[in-house]
Amino acid sequence: MLEICAIASGSNGNCYYIGNKKEAIIIDAGISAKQILQRMKERNLDASKLRACFVTHEHGDHMRGVRGVSKKLQIPIYLTAKTHNGAYKNMRPDNPVFFTTNEEIKIGEFTVFPVLKNHDAADPCSFRIKYKNKSVGVFTDIGEACDNVKSHLKKCDSLFLESNYDEKMLWDGSYPYFLKQRVASKVGHLSNDQAFDLLENHANENLKCVFLSHISRDNNTPEKALDRMTSLKSKFEVKLTSRLEAGEIYTF
């Protein structure tokens, strides 16, 4: 059995939980350790099962709480050396565990696969987490889906996938032009349309559930993101994440 949950998902902070009966990991700690523990408690998720935290890249909404998590939970923080060096010093964990993006990492019964991706960070990666014969993907902060992302997405039974912005809302919105360009660039974020295309063309028949993630507060709405996936809902469940609270726990 696997349980997955978006503890936080959005530009104000990201944290994704994947666990079985005995152990669990989190991907990113973009909110404080205190908030992570509180949100886990509200969903009856046992923090004592946590064995590691993996960091996708050095931006604050993914790494802000890493140092606190390392100290408070006494778990190893896995990240690349470039991500560590690119982070603000006050966010760096005391005892980092470095990995390279071509290696598989064993955490108990989990195998974690780093997935290189396109984003404006020092050494950005996403992750696919395998337990027995099931895989969970955490794919956010992707400007344009490369072959790495596509190939690992095809292996996923469940997925946290970025659906960051609505094209019209972004270009008609209040962001300065340079920021609009950054969001929509090949090293920015996935739009609702891009997320749809990725799922339509590369999801496999075993995919059971997709959580739309990292939804922009200013350039998207949960309703727009969900509505864009309407024609895919006959193939798999489509659910939403929240920036304000831990989301639904999905078990499979």
Task: Report the alpha-carbon angle 247-250-251, nearest 5.
Answer: 150
Using CA atoms in the order 112, 57, 214, 205, what is the torsion angle rounded to 10 degrees? -30
Using alpha carbons, select from 110, 37, 112 the residue that is nearest to residue 80.
112
Q: Which residues contact 161 (CB under 8 A, 6 or more apart)?
A: 137, 139, 140, 153, 190, 195, 198, 199, 210, 211, 212, 213
pLDDT at 121: 97
User: In this model, does residue 102 exceed pLDDT 90?
Assistant: no
Give backbone dihedrals phi and psi of 171, rounded to 5 degrees, phi first.
-75, -25
Using alpha carbons, select from 228, 44, 248, 235 the residue that is nearest to residue 160.
248
pLDDT digit string (tens) for 118-174? 999 999 999 999 999 999 999 999 999 999 999 999 999 999 999 999 999 999 999
Q: How far apart are CA 201 and CA 147, in angstroms?
A: 12
Using alpha carbons, select from 170, 144, 150, 151 the residue that is nearest to residue 225.
170
Q: How far apart are CA 117 and CA 161, in angstroms?
A: 13
pLDDT digit string (tens) for 25-56? 999 999 999 999 999 999 999 999 999 999 99
The terminus-to-terminus CA distance of the chain in angstroms comes to 6
pLDDT digit string (tens) for 206-218? 999 999 999 999 9
Q: What SS3 class is residue 52?
A: strand
CATH 1.10.760.10 is the classification of domain 3-251: no
Using alpha carbons, select from 120, 131, 126 the residue that is nearest to residue 148.
126
pLDDT digit string (tens) for 86-101? 999 999 998 899 999 8
Kindly report the average pLDDT of the chain as a whole number: 97
